[in-house]
Amino acid sequence: MRLILVFAFLAFALSSTGQDDLLDLLGEDEPTQDFATAGFKTTRIINGHSFELNSHGVLDFKISHRFGRLNTGAYNLFGLDNAFMRIGLDYGVTEWLNVGIGRSGGAIKYYDSFVKARILRQQTGMKNVPVSLLWVTDLNIDANQVIDTSLLPYPFTNRMYYTNQIIVGRKFNDAISLQFMPSLVHRNFVRTKAESNDVIVLGVGGRVKLTRRVAINMEYHYVLPDQLDPKYSNSLSVGFDIETGGHVFQLHFTNSRGMAESVFLTETDGKWDAGDIHFGFNVSRVFTVHRPKRK
C-alpha cells in the first residue's frame, strides 16, 4: 500500500514537471540587449525635444501650427483665424544622431536648425542603463524685418540665437515617461541691460499613455529669475498625442506661440492665468528613405 502511494506521488510529481519543457533543456536564454523604445510617440513632446530619435534612414516631415489666443474671443473663433506655422524636416543620420531644419512663418519668422545626439540609451539585458542621455544644440536665425530704424544698421549676428540642451529621460513603464532638460540659450543681441545674453532654463516633460495609441503630454520650462524682460513667462504646454500608423498628430494648448527653441524658451509672451492660450497641433509623417543594412 505504502509502495503504491509513493508510486502515485512520484508519478504525479513527474507528470507535472518533467514533460512539456523540452526548451528548458537549453537552459537560460542568451542575454539580449533590450532598448527601451517609444518612450514618446515622436521626437518632440510638444514644443521641445523628447528623448526619442528618428531611426537611421528615417525622414520626419513635421507641420506645426499655433493658432491665436483663446481669449481673443468668438470674433476670431478663439484664435483659429490667426496662425503661426512651422514646417520642418528631421533626419536620422545614424541610430544615435539626428539633424533637422525648420522655418517658422506668420507674424514671427525664423529659420532653425539642430543637431541632436544620444550619448546613453536606456536599456536592460546585457547592459543595464537606467536613463537615456541626449544633447541638443540648436541655431535659430531671426528672419523678421527690423522695424525700429534706430537699430540700423543691424548686423546679421544680431539675429542669431544658440540653444544647448541636455535631456535626461527615462521610460518608467509602458505608460509613463519623464524627462528633465536644462537648457542654456545664448542671445547675441538683447534690447536692454536688464536682459541676460545667456539664459538658463530648467525644463521637465512627460507623458502618460491613455490607450495604446493616445497619450497625454506635458512640458514646462522654468526660467531662472532676473534673466528676461518681465513681460515674458515660463512656457507651459499640455496636449495629446494620437498615433494613426505613419502619422502622429499632436494637439495641444500652450502659452508659447514660437516653435523654435530660443523663442519658446525665452520669448513666451502669453500667460495661462490671463487666458493667453494658443491651441495648436503638430503633424509628424515619417518616410523611410534609406534602409541601413542590419547586423
Partner 1 sequence: MKLLLVSALILCSSVVSAQGKYFTRDGHVKFFSATSVEDIEARNHKLTCVLDAASGQFEFAALMKSFEFKKPLMEEHFNENFVESNKYPKGTFKGSVQGLDGIDMANIPSGTNVVAAGKLEIHGVVKELELAATIESRDGGYAIHSTFKIVPEDYNIEIPNTVRDNIAKVVDVTVEAQLKAFNR
The reply on whether position 55 binds partner 1 by CB under 8 A is yes
Distance (Å, rounded) from C-alpha 34 to C-alpha 42? 20
- Do residues 244 and 208 touch, judged by C-beta distance below 8 A? no
The reply on whether position 230 binds partner 1 by CB under 8 A is no
The position carrying cell 543594412 is 293
The reply on whether position 244 binds partner 1 by CB under 8 A is yes
Angle value at C-alpha 89, between 243 and 95, nearest 5 degrees: 75
- Do residues 175 and 145 touch, judged by C-beta distance below 8 A? no
Distance (Å, rounded) from C-alpha 101 to C-alpha 157? 19
The reply on whether position 293 binds partner 1 by CB under 8 A is no
The reply on whether position 225 binds partner 1 by CB under 8 A is no
Around Cβ 113, how many Cβ atoms within 10 Å?
A: 15
Around Cβ 251, how many Cβ atoms within 10 Å?
A: 15
To partner 1, the closest distance from the beta carbon of 116 in angstroms equals: 16
To partner 1, the closest distance from the beta carbon of 284 in angstroms equals: 11
The reply on whether position 6 binds partner 1 by CB under 8 A is yes
Distance (Å, rounded) from C-alpha 92 to C-alpha 61? 12
Distance (Å, rounded) from C-alpha 132 to C-alpha 49? 13
**Of 228, 164, 247, the residue nearest 190 (C-alpha):** 228
To partner 1, the closest distance from the beta carbon of 75 in angstroms equals: 36
The reply on whether position 32 binds partner 1 by CB under 8 A is yes
**Binding residue for partner 1 (CB under 8 A) from 80, 135, 144, 213?**
213
Pull the grid cell for residue 209. 499613455
User: How many residues make up the chain in this entry?
Assistant: 295
Given the complex with partner 1, which of 32 and 144 has the nearer CB atom? 32
To partner 1, the closest distance from the beta carbon of 11 in angstroms equals: 8
**Residues of span 162-191 touching partner 1 by CB under 8 A:** 174
Q: Where are the beta strands (DSSP E) in the chain?
A: 33-35, 58-69, 83-92, 97-105, 110-120, 123-125, 132-142, 160-171, 176-187, 198-209, 214-223, 235-243, 247-254, 278-288
**Binding residue for partner 1 (CB under 8 A) from 8, 12, 14, 229?**
14
**Of 263, 168, 179, the residue nearest 220 (C-alpha):** 179
The reply on whether position 10 binds partner 1 by CB under 8 A is yes
Distance (Å, rounded) from C-alpha 18 to C-alpha 23? 12
**Binding residue for partner 1 (CB under 8 A) from 1, 16, 28, 29?**
29
To partner 1, the closest distance from the beta carbon of 291 in angstroms equals: 6
The reply on whether position 28 binds partner 1 by CB under 8 A is no
**Binding residue for partner 1 (CB under 8 A) from 34, 81, 198, 229?**
34
To partner 1, the closest distance from the beta carbon of 151 in angstroms equals: 46
Stretch that binds partner 1, among 76-84, 133-141, 243-251, 263-271 (CB under 8 A): 243-251
The reply on whether position 215 binds partner 1 by CB under 8 A is no
Query: Which residues bind to partner 1, rule: CB under 8 A?
Result: 2-3, 6-7, 10-11, 14, 18, 20-23, 25-26, 29-30, 32, 34, 37-38, 55-58, 174, 212-213, 243-246, 286, 288, 291, 294
